[in-house]
């Protein structure tokens, strides 16, 4: 493993995670890329639809586009912040979409929160990320 890449690990002194890492160490000289929260809105401003999985997919695609514009990609993501309106109902679909984008062998650290609503009626999901691009 290159010393320019983040290191993900799970100390035995912390609870065992399910699908994420507890700790991410950022190497010296790396560039941080922070994206604003992304939702299921297409570039033309329309909501992807009422389907949670479609909105989550669009949010991840928006992040992918933002990362690419910064010279980065999902391989550099170290943190996911995910917001849903009904985790019990949406969690399995979220995991399926997320796993198509992140390295599931060394998943980023993450936080998932349930919220009552978003800034625009009809939205069901929001995603923000922090990426580390090797220097």
Residue 102 lies in a domain: yes
Query: Which of the two residues, 107 and 29, has the higher pLDDT score?
Result: 107
Q: What is the CATH number of the domain that holds 102?
A: 3.30.1330.40
Residue 126 lies in a domain: yes
At 17 the pLDDT is 85
The pLDDT of residue 2 is above 70: no
Decide: helix, strand or coil at residue 85.
coil
Residue 47 lies in a domain: yes
Residue 89 lies in a domain: yes
Query: Structural domain tally of the chain?
Result: 1
Residue 1 lies in a domain: no
Residue 109 lies in a domain: yes
C-alpha torsion 31→37→41→44, nearest 10:
-50
Quote the domain boundaries for residue 106.
7-133
**Residue 53, number of CB atoms within 10 A of its CB:** 18
DSSP conformation class of 106: S
Q: Are 82 and 126 in contact (CB under 8 A)?
A: yes
Residue 2 lies in a domain: no
Residue 75 lies in a domain: yes
Could you tell me the pTM of the whole model? 0.87
Angstrom distance (rounded) from CA 41 to CA 39: 6
Q: Tens of pLDDT along 5-64? A: 788 888 899 888 888 888 888 888 888 899 999 999 999 999 998 999 999 999 999 999
């Amino acid at each position: 493993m290159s010393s320019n890449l983040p290191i993900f690990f799970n100390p035995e002194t912390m609870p065992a995670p399910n699908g994420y890492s507890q700790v991410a160490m950022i190497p010296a000289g790396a560039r941080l890329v922070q994206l604003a929260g992304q939702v299921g809105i297409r570039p033309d401003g329309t909501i992807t639809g009422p389907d949670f999985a479609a909105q989550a997919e669009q949010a991840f695609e928006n992040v992918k586009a933002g990362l690419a514009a910064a010279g980065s990609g999902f391989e550099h993501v170290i943190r996911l912040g995910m917001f849903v309106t009904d985790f019990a109902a949406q969690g399995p679909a979220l995991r399926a979409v997320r796993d198509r984008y992140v390295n599931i062998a060394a998943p980023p650290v993450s936080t998932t929160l349930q919220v009552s609503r978003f800034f625009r009626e009809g939205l069901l999901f929001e995603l923000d990320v922090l990426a580390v691009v090797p220097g």
